[in-house]
Amino acid sequence: MNIKGHSPTLVATHPGNRNALKSGVYSPSALAPRVHELEAALAERPARAAAADLLRREAASLAALGEAMDESLATDGIHGRGGTLRTLVSHRLRLNEKIRRTLDAYQQAVVPEESERSHHLPVSEADIAPAQQTKREHQSLADSIAKAHDREQITMITPPGFGPELFLAAIITATDPAVRTDDRLRARRMLTKRKRNRPATCLCTSPVLAWNYLHFQEWVVEAAHAGCTQDRDDQTLAAIVRRIAAGQSIQPWRSFKQTHEAVEEVLTDGVERARGDEEARPDTRVKDPTVSPFWRTLLSRDLRVSANNRLKAFQALDDVGVFPRCKCKPTPPTDLPSITPDAWRAFVIRLMTRQTYEAALYVVQYPETYIAVREAVDARLVEAIGTTGDDSSREAW
């Protein structure tokens, strides 16, 4: 206190001044009393029970936050101004990871209590524990197949979304001890046969598909966070797409022939999809009584279905032609390492209209091309609507 100051305005000192304190969220001194109370409460309880309660409340809070984010995305969309993804999408994906970590920690805090209770179970139930331990150490073949298709369980894989090569790769790399070496070798031979002489730019087969557009955008964000960066040729390819879509010809024609064909193909397909036309799909014959049993065996969640039986069902389905087959011109073995620039441009342009995991990786590398393709499809659709005067097409668009 200044003894020489103006006495009417003199104020005593304020140790630990809190005049500017608002919520106290970031103030250790403001939180200290409550910290001591909670510390005392935790000390009175077993550590495992206290940890389980805290993690349970944390998981519930995160789940509530996730629901609020989902509601905002459903109401206001995932794109902001200029067509860019909202930052909320990135926050929502990171929240998913935090929820998973919290639930894993909560499960670890709760499981010991359940294992203690298992000692008092009848012998017939307690004997199940070793099998459950084995399941945690080794992923079952059914779960490996589901994971290869980016599904939580194998029953979520539908015949139209089944990837033959993903299935074979899952058998080859499965950690399930029930998968024999003979099964892996047979799957390896079948996979090699399917890929033999196929060009690297082939898009005939069905890789893992996104459930919907939002799921596809999640893959795009994940690819960006994983370190995928924009390709140096992106802006050039985007300019080529815009010129071809505007009716201009890129010369020399022979060097851009496949690029022209790819742009015209994606524009035509885009208009047809917007109008509601059904996309050509292979006939899976899932309703055929002579074929459906093989589908049930192939996609069964029953752990007793062996890899050998699944491979036999796969071969039977392949023999009747339910899987998509490569229609590309076979590439001579001497030309496998090389891809012409024209073929590569066509490959990237066609990928921009797919909703596959591979396409998501390329969207991150070719964002300008992705926008150029979407704008070209929209412009072609508007032109088609103006020409035909089809109100249904306008509504679909």
Q: Where are the domains of the chain?
A: 39-116, 138-196+283-322, 199-279+326-397
Could you give the CA distance from residue 314 to residue 291 in angstroms, rounded to a whole number? Answer: 11
User: What pLDDT is recorded for position 221?
Assistant: 86
User: What pLDDT is recorded for position 297?
Assistant: 93
Could you give the CA distance from residue 235 to residue 149 in angstroms, rounded to a whole number? Answer: 32
Helix (H, G, I), strand (E, B) or coil at 22: coil
Please state the φ and ψ torsions of residue 79, each to the nearest 5 degrees. -110, 140
Residue 55: both structure tokens together? 């993690």
Helix (H) or strand (E) holding 344: helix 341-351
User: What pLDDT is recorded for position 366?
Assistant: 92
User: What pLDDT is recorded for position 391?
Assistant: 45
Measured in whole angstroms, how far is the alpha carbon of residue 344 from the centre of its chain? 25
Q: Which amino acid is at 358?
A: E
Nearest-CA neighbor of 171 among 162, 180, 163? Answer: 180
Judge whether 318 and 295 are in contact, CB under 8 Å.
no
User: What pLDDT is recorded for position 133?
Assistant: 41
Judge whether 92 and 73 are in contact, CB under 8 Å.
yes
Taking only the tens of pLDDT, the chain with its 397 residues reads: 555 555 666 556 555 555 555 555 555 666 677 667 767 776 777 777 777 778 788 888 888 887 787 777 677 766 666 666 667 766 767 777 777 777 777 777 765 544 444 444 343 433 433 444 444 457 899 999 998 888 888 988 888 888 888 899 899 999 999 999 999 999 999 888 887 766 667 776 656 667 677 878 887 888 888 777 888 899 999 999 999 999 888 888 888 998 998 899 888 887 777 665 444 556 788 888 889 999 999 999 998 999 999 999 999 998 988 887 766 665 555 444 456 888 889 889 988 888 887 888 889 899 999 999 999 988 888 887 765 545 444 333 3
The 8-class DSSP code of residue 154 comes to G
Could you give the CA distance from residue 187 to residue 189 in angstroms, rounded to a whole number? Answer: 5
Could you give the CA distance from residue 148 to residue 239 in angstroms, rounded to a whole number? Answer: 36
Judge whether 371 and 383 are in contact, CB under 8 Å.
no
Judge whether 186 and 174 are in contact, CB under 8 Å.
no
User: What pLDDT is recorded for position 85?
Assistant: 62
Please state the φ and ψ torsions of residue 85, each to the nearest 5 degrees. -70, 140
Could you give the CA distance from residue 20 to residue 395 in angstroms, rounded to a whole number? Answer: 56
Nearest-CA neighbor of 388 among 275, 266, 267, 270? Answer: 275
Could you give the CA distance from residue 186 to residue 141 in angstroms, rounded to a whole number? Answer: 15
Residue 201: both structure tokens together? 């730019």
User: What pLDDT is recorded for position 185?
Assistant: 93
User: Helices 357-365 and 213-225 meet at what angle, rounded to 10?
Assistant: 50
User: What pLDDT is recorded for position 131?
Assistant: 40
Q: Tally Cβ neighbours within 10 Å of residue 36.
A: 10
Q: Tally Cβ neighbours within 10 Å of residue 97.
A: 9
Burial class (CB in 10 A: 0-12, 13-18, 19+), 66: middle
The predicted model scores a pTM of 0.49
